[in-house]
Structure formats: structure tokens, C-alpha cells
Amino acid sequence: MKVDEQIPRNALVWIMLGMAALLAPHLGRLPIWVLVVYIACALWRLQIFRGAWHFPRRLVKLGLIAMAGTGIWLSYGSLLGLEPTVALLLTAYAMKLLELARRQDAYVLLFLGYFICITEFLFTQDLLVVLYSLATVWLVTAALVALHQGVQEHFRFGPLRQSGVMLAQAFPLMLVLFFLFPRIGPLWTVPVKTHAARTGVSDNMSPGSISSLSKSDEVAFRVSFEGEIPPRANLYWRGLVMSRLQQGTWSAFNYYDVPAAERRAAEVATEGEPLRYSVLMMPTQQNWLYSLRYAESSQAGIMQAPDFRLFRPVEIEEQYRYQVRSWPQAALEPVLSDWRRLAELRLPDSENPRTRALALQLREEAGSDAGLVEAVLARFREESFVYTLQPPLLGENATDQFLFETRRGFCEHYASAFVTLMRAGGVPARVVAGYQGGEVNPVNRTVIVHQFDAHAWAEVWLEGEGWRRVDPTAAVSPSRIEQGLEQALAGEGSFLADSPLSPLRYRRVDWINSLRLRYDALTYRWQSWVVGFNSENQLQLLQRYLGELTAQKFVLILLGSGLLVLLPLAAWLLRQRGGATLDGLSREYLAFCAQLARRGVERAPGEGPRDFARRVAAALPAHAEVVAEVTGLYENAQYAASRDSRRDAAQRIRRSRRRLR
């Protein structure tokens, strides 16, 4: 092998450091054996470096490839999908170390490293991850720099500095590309994260089948209100309206389940100033949107379902921001269509006989629909119902079992039981799933809604009033609504029991909490301005400043600003390369020489100031004094150790040479 094809020793160290940095953020998602592969490959490569072992033969390599593929298959059950493919890529990346013989192999490895760095963003686009990835890019670039250093050099941190400078130089260009490069739609789609557990609200609800609800502290969405933030007890974020009960499971009507005539939401009389707010949603892979009660959005791509919820026909696969107006007081559907009434009253036959009997009895006693609501809530409040996240499992006739035997459950149990009672008593009712409450971040006045704020409540239709929100959980555990889940579970200790390190658990510690809220405010900005900067925003931004946008204009602006950013950099680099340039003092002196040249005495290039002065004094005795003065000033400032400012000297020369005119 030629010397210039060798991989310098310190470059190998940088490459391995870079690989470790690339692997680290993926570790949580990868099976542990991938880490073992990395360590084994690194050791193998080190042994090759020491001359102890050899590069693997082709047959061995084939075997390793087959083993890696099989391993991924066994761990994920598939080779397709986002996580298995990333795992496959990472495993192959580790084994690429064993093919790292020449410099060109190192190029392949490092450029692939940049790509691997990007794969992390398929899973999260958190600000910290971005900072970490920047550090990784820095490290990989340092490895690239180290690759161009001498073979025999010791390990030093020079490449880190140099690559830092290179990245800093690339930064302006990055900004130009970020803001101006056309955001072309994806040419391929990344398969959905099949393995990412869906937390929060799902499209159906079957209380009784869950014995322990684990709730995460991930952020579901952030809301920023234009005006005052309503009190937390009124923050019911409607997501999904479930009107259909089948085999103990509540679910929402799909678009085509509703007869054509009913597919449009009824007109709602809106009065007064609406609440205006914008919601920044994290990807859910679902298509419903969250909003307060009676919400309208004029944003393109958002539709309204006949049960007054908002949805987007396209699944939300990346974070999504939308503007909403809400009239919380507006009456919803004061007149109910026949189909709707039937749909909202339907209960499976022959299930939960005791519940049905109870409902009929209560309805009779109450005398009115509103009275039935009150009676049921009073029953929840007064009898020994318990709010818990760890309810017992329920069998057949779940509602009967819940109401008369276990009496332990969380929002879903209460909402479901309440709606069942209502429907049995002849009152149209339905379950609403979404989030309740949220945390107000005082730093930037946003409401942060976490996954553990997920909630289910009920809506009942009352003659003359329309749909009314009733939250049976509030009757059982008022603190859940007024103060949030943490308070409601204070005795049980199950709040975020699964995430011992979540900063939310340490809310009581002031500085952690304030740090957490500040970081969240920063994240909000990051999510809305950087991650959320899509082609739409880009177009808006450009149109705001540049008017109507044509293709030529777009290209011109892109190229123009690229040049604008690169030219100063290029000029600076040229200056660096060109060595010393003419400083102000020398310019002044040369101007003086030019003045004398016009009078017939020209300085030869190789003539020093003293020699020149002597010659001028002989040729132009009238100016001898000025010449001596300027030469003295120049020599003093330029060659002597005088501490006088050079700028000062330049000015004095300028003043002196005026006398030559």
C-alpha cells in the first residue's frame, strides 16, 4: 500500500470516537447485541492496527452480513420499517470498520457517518438532540481532518480546532440553505415508526381491559393563547368523540359511518369574542386535532366533523401547528336530528342489566333529563367511588361490575359508565376523549399539555340546551380537574411511577422546575421556528419581504445570497493566504511616494524609505523638510519598537503630506 493511502493512526482514533458518538443516541432503541458488535469490531480493528490479526476474508464477511441480518430479523421480526432499517444500517456501519484498510474506505465510513447522524432526527427533533448532533458532526469532521495529517503524528486535538473553524465557516451557508433552499416534498416516505408505542389518546376506549394505566411525561402539544389563559378547570381539549359502543369498546364514527346528509356539522350560532390560540402538536400518526369546545379553524387542510371536533384528513406524521378560534359558550346542536339521536342513544342489547335498571329507576325519580345527570353525579360523589390508575380488571358486563362491585377506576371508567347510564335512561350522551388541563409555563405563557393529561369525559344532550359537557371524574376526584393528575394521585404514589428521572417528578424543587420550564419555552421556540419551518412558512417569509415569487426570482435569490455569504469568507481566506496586506500606514506612505512621483522623483521598488528620502532631498531640496518628517514618522511607526499608535502615525503623515500640494 502506498503511504498516501494509509490511514494515519490518530485518524483511526478520531474515527472510532466519532462512531461511538454516532451510536450513543441510538443505544436506547437498539438491541444490546448491536453494542457488542461495535465493541468487537473496534477491538478487531485495533488488533489489525497492531498487526496481530488480519482483515476478515470475503467468506467471513458474508457470514457476518448474514448474521447481522438474521439478528435484526430476530430482534424486530422484520427487516423493513424505520427501526429495523436504522438498526441494520448501524450494524453494517460497525462492520465497515473491518473493511477500513485504505484512505478511501475511511472517506466512505465518515461520509456515511454524516448520514447516520441524520437518522437520529427520524426519531426525535429535540433541541438537545440537535446540539448533540452538532457535536457529532464536529467530531466526524475532525476525523476527516485527521485523515489528512501525517502518518506518524501523535494524537492531538488540532483536528478538532480545525474542523470547528470549518464548521463555523459553513454556518452562514447553512442559514442560507435553511431559509432559502426550496423545501421539496419527500421523494420517498419513511415508514411509520411501528415500534414506537403510542401513548396518550387512542382511537378507541375499552375501560376494564386495562389494569394499570402508565402515563408518560412526553409533551402532547403546546398552546399559546392570544389573550388570557382560561382557568385550568375549563381546559378540556377535545380530540375524539366516541359515540359508538361495541363489545365494551367505545369508538368514534368514521367519515363513512355517518349518512351523507349528516356529514356536515350543524350551524353553530357564535357570539362574542372568541378565544384565539394556536396549537403546536407533536406527531401522533393520527388525524384528529385538539381544541377547546366549539372550535373553528380557517386553516387549509383542517376539517370539522359533525360532532364538532377538528381533524386533518392527512395523518400528523410531523409536528403540526394550527390556529383555532373557540367559543366555549356557544350552544351545540340545540336541535338533534333523528339519526343522531338514535346513534347517541344506542346501547348493545342485553348487556349490563343492572345498570339499565338503575338508570330507569333514577330517571323516574329525577323526573327530567337534567335531573338524571345530577342524580348520577351525586351517586358518584356520595357513594364510595375511588379514583385510581390501578383499577381491577373487569369481565363481562363491565359497567355493572364497575358500578356495583369494584368502584375503582379512572376517567375512562367513569365516562363510560356515565354515558351508559345516560343512554339507558334515554338521554343522548357520548364519550369525549382528549386532554384536560395543562401546565402554564410562566416563561413564555404557553400551556404545556403532557401525555399524562389525557382524559375522557362525557357530553349529554339536553332539550333546549344542546350538548353539555359533564365530567363524572370531577365528581369523584375534583382535584384531578382542579389541580391535575399529580394531586389526584398524591396518596397512591403512582404519578409517573415509570419514569423516575423525569424532571416533572421533581417539580417541587424550585430550581429544577424553573430550569424545566425555561427549557420548555426554548423548545417551544425551537419547535415553532426551526422544526416547524416548512415550505408554507418559507413561502410566506419570502413573500413578505420580496413580494410575488417566481421561479427565476427564487433561484436568483438563492444564488445571490449564497454568493453574499461566501464572498466575504472567500475574501477573508484569500487575505489569509496572501500573507500580509497593505496596512493603513503603508498606504499613507505609498500615497506620499505617489505625490513625489508626480513631481518627478519616483521610488524604485527596492528602495527603502531612508534611501528614497536622501534622493528626494537631493532632487527637491524645497521639500526636504516634509520628506524627512514623513520618513521619520513612517520609520518610527513601521520599523521601530515605538508604542505610538500606527493609526496616529498614518494621520500625521496624511497631515504632513498635505504640505506637498
Among 199, 586, 595, 651, binds another protein (CB under 8 A): 586
Question: What minimum distance in Å lies between the beta carbon of 640 and another protein?
Answer: 4
Nearer to another protein, 120 or 588 (CB): 588
For another protein, give the closer residue by CB, 193 or 587: 587
CA distance 417 to 431: 10
Binding piece for another protein, criterion CB under 8 A, among 64-72, 76-84, 467-475, 578-586: 578-586
| Whole-angstrom distance, CA of residue 65 vs CA of residue 59 | 10
> Which grid coordinates are listed for 445?
405563557
In this chain, which of 65, 80, 582, 594 binds another protein, going by CB under 8 A?
582
Whole-angstrom distance, CA of residue 125 vs CA of residue 258: 38
Closest CB to another protein among residues 185, 579: 579
- Using CB under 8 A as the binding rule, whether residue 604 contacts another protein is answered as yes
Minimum distance, C-beta of residue 644 to another protein, in the bound complex (Å): 13
Among 153, 608, 645, 648, binds another protein (CB under 8 A): 608
The answer to whether residue 580 forms part of the interface with another protein (CB under 8 A) is yes
Distance of closest approach, residue 596 Cβ to another protein, in angstroms? 13
Distance CA 633, CA 585 (A): 10
Q: What is the dihedral of CA 498, 500, 506, 511, to 10 degrees?
A: -140
CB of 615 to another protein, least distance (A): 12
Check binding of 575 to another protein (CB under 8 A).
no
By the rule CB under 8 A, 592 interacts with another protein: no
406 vs 586, which CB is nearer to another protein?
586
Task: Single out the segment in contact with another protein by CB under 8 A; choices: 202-210, 322-330, 383-391, 636-644.
Answer: 636-644
Whole-angstrom distance, CA of residue 398 vs CA of residue 502: 34
Given 307, 400, 453, 471, which residue is catalytic? 471
Shortest Å, Cβ 598 to another protein: 18
What is the rounded CA–CA span in Å between residue 222 and residue 294?
Answer: 19
- Rounded CA-CA distance 580/571 in Å is 14
Residue 512: name the closest of 524, 523, 521, 504 by CA. 504
Under the binding rule (CB under 8 A), the answer on residue 577 touching another protein is no
Taking the least distance from each CB to another protein, the nearer of 111 and 572 is 572
By CB under 8 A, tell whether 572 contacts another protein.
no
249 binds another protein (CB under 8 A): no
Picking from 505, 503, 501, the residue whose alpha carbon sits closest to that of residue 490 is 505
φ/ψ of 503, rounded to 5, equals -60, -20
Q: Closer to another protein at the Cβ: 105 or 635?
A: 635
User: Where are any strands of DSSP class E within 410-541?
Assistant: 429-436, 439-441, 446-450, 454-462, 466-470
Q: How many residues bind another protein (CB under 8 A)?
A: 21
How far are the Cα atoms of 128, 148, 154 from residue 158, in angstroms, in the given order?
26, 12, 11
455 is an active site residue: yes
Between helix 411-424 and helix 369-382 the angle, nearest 10°, is 140
Question: Which of 361, 534, 639, 644 is close enough to bind another protein by CB under 8 A?
Answer: 639
Count of beta carbons in the 10 Å neighbourhood of residue 474: 20
The least CB distance from residue 639 to another protein, in Å, is: 5
- Pure H helices in 483-583: 485-488, 510-525, 535-546, 551-577
Distance of CA 342 to the CA centre of its chain: 44
Integer angstrom CA distances of residue 528 from 186, 296, 525, 537? 20, 21, 5, 10
Nearest to another protein of 37, 633 (CB atom):
633
**Interface residue with another protein, options 640, 648, 655, 659 (CB under 8 A):** 640
Cα of 305 vs its chain's centroid, Å: 29
Closest CB to another protein among 342 and 640?
Answer: 640
Catalytic residue selected from 411, 413, 593, 623: 411
Stretch of 12-20, 368-376, 459-467, 600-608 contacting another protein, by CB under 8 A: 600-608
Distance, CA of 82 to chain centre: 18
Q: How far is the CB of 592 from another protein (least distance, A)?
A: 11
411 has catalytic annotation: yes
The SS3 call for residue 349 is coil
For another protein, the closer CB: 400 or 588: 588
Per CB under 8 A, the segment of 188-196, 546-554, 584-592, 650-658 that binds another protein is 584-592
Question: Contact between 609 and another protein (CB under 8 A)?
Answer: yes
Q: Which of 455, 520, 593, 623 is catalytic?
A: 455
Q: In what order do the strands lie in the sheet with 454-462?
A: 236-242, 429-436, 454-462, 466-470
Please tell me whether residue 305 adopts helix, strand or coil conformation. Answer: coil
Neighbour count for residue 310 (Cβ, 10 Å): 22
Q: Least distance (Å) from another protein to the CB of residue 604?
A: 7
For residue 609, the minimal CB distance to another protein (Å) is 7
Task: Pick between residue 59 and residue 580 the one whose CB is nearest to another protein.
Answer: 580
Instruction: Tell me if 607 contacts another protein by CB under 8 A.
Output: yes
| Among residues 581, 618, 622, 658, the one that binds another protein under rule CB under 8 A | 581
Q: Does residue number 606 form part of the binding site for another protein (CB under 8 A)? A: yes
Name the residue nearer to another protein (CB basis): 185 or 605: 605
By the rule CB under 8 A, 576 interacts with another protein: no
**Which of 322, 435, 524, 589 contacts another protein by CB under 8 A?**
589
Taking alpha carbons only, the member of 255, 260, 274 closest to residue 337 is: 260
Residue 590 is a binding residue for another protein (CB under 8 A)? yes
What does DSSP assign to residue 234? G
On whether the CB atoms of residues 436 and 422 are closer than 8 A, the answer is no
454-462 and 439-441 beta bridge pairing: unpaired
Q: Say whether residue 546 binds another protein (CB under 8 A).
A: no
Residue 610 binds to another protein (criterion: CB under 8 A): yes
Does position 611 interact with another protein (CB under 8 A)? The reply is yes
The answer to whether the beta carbons of residues 289 and 302 sit under 8 Å apart is yes
Question: Which residue ranges make up the site for another protein (CB under 8 A)?
Answer: 578-582, 586, 589-590, 604-611, 635, 638-641
Catalytic residue list: 411, 455, 471
